[in-house]
Amino acid sequence: MNWANMQYTQSKNFSGADNGALQLHILQTVIPGARAEIKACKKLWNLANNYERYMGYVTCVKTALGATRIWPGKLRILRRGHAWIRDWFLTTDSWSARDFMLHGWKAQNISSSWESPFKKVPVPDECIGGYAGWNWRTEKRISVEEVRSQLAQAEKSGGVAFPKEGRVLAHLTEPDVGECYPECDYWT
């Protein structure tokens, strides 16, 4: 029910839509006792008025969650590229036999200079099994090793290009014990 109610508590500024709400919901669900961290991240979310500041909120949530990826009985977060979908732009529209679905191809972002990985739009009635109906460009299909190489390069350049306003360490800028002392550990 908390997830359903997130629409009423979403940031009125640059919210990141469902992604922004989902991150806060996950933090509240898997670490409900992390009240100071939740409050700090929620504050950053509400103050975000552009993408750069929104990334500060994302950094806050990721820092609060830490390296943990499995919360038994609650949630498992798969690493990027290890689920059934990944962002297309990380490999410049290329894909491998290991890919199932690519995310982010939106009609409003497609320009005349963009070359689709397909020769024509797939027709569902022609997709009867295997590669039937998928008229993809052979040069867009690459090896798993090449995908790995391109993902590594995207990670390196992404770190360099990450917005400076998004490089937030909430534990240095927001209250940690000042609002809960002396009972801070009671909830965690």
Per-residue pLDDT 10s for the chain (188 aa) are 577 777 777 777 777 777 888 999 999 999 999 999 999 999 999 999 999 999 999 999 999 999 898 999 989 988 877 787 888 888 888 889 888 888 877 665 556 677 778 888 778 888 888 778 888 888 999 999 999 999 999 989 888 888 888 888 887 888 777 777 777 776 65
Residues 57 and 41: beta-carbon distance below 8 Å = yes
| CA–CA dist 54, 175 (Å, integer) | 19
Query: For the chain, what is the radius of gyration of the CA atoms?
Result: 20
Domain hosting residue 146, numbered range: 85-161
Output the six-digit token pair for 143. 């090896």
| CA–CA dist 25, 38 (Å, integer) | 10
- Looking at the structure, tell me whether residues 117 and 156 fall in a common domain: yes
Give the total number of structural domains in the chain: 2
pLDDT in tens, 89-126: 888 888 898 888 888 776 655 566 777 788 887 788 88
H-state helical runs in 10-133: 17-30, 35-47, 51-65
- Looking at the structure, tell me whether residues 182 and 145 fall in a common domain: no
- Looking at the structure, tell me whether residues 57 and 110 fall in a common domain: no
Question: Which residue has tokens 């969650």?
Answer: 65
- Looking at the structure, tell me whether residues 30 and 57 fall in a common domain: yes
- Looking at the structure, tell me whether residues 115 and 132 fall in a common domain: yes
Residues 24 and 38: beta-carbon distance below 8 Å = yes
- Looking at the structure, tell me whether residues 98 and 47 fall in a common domain: no
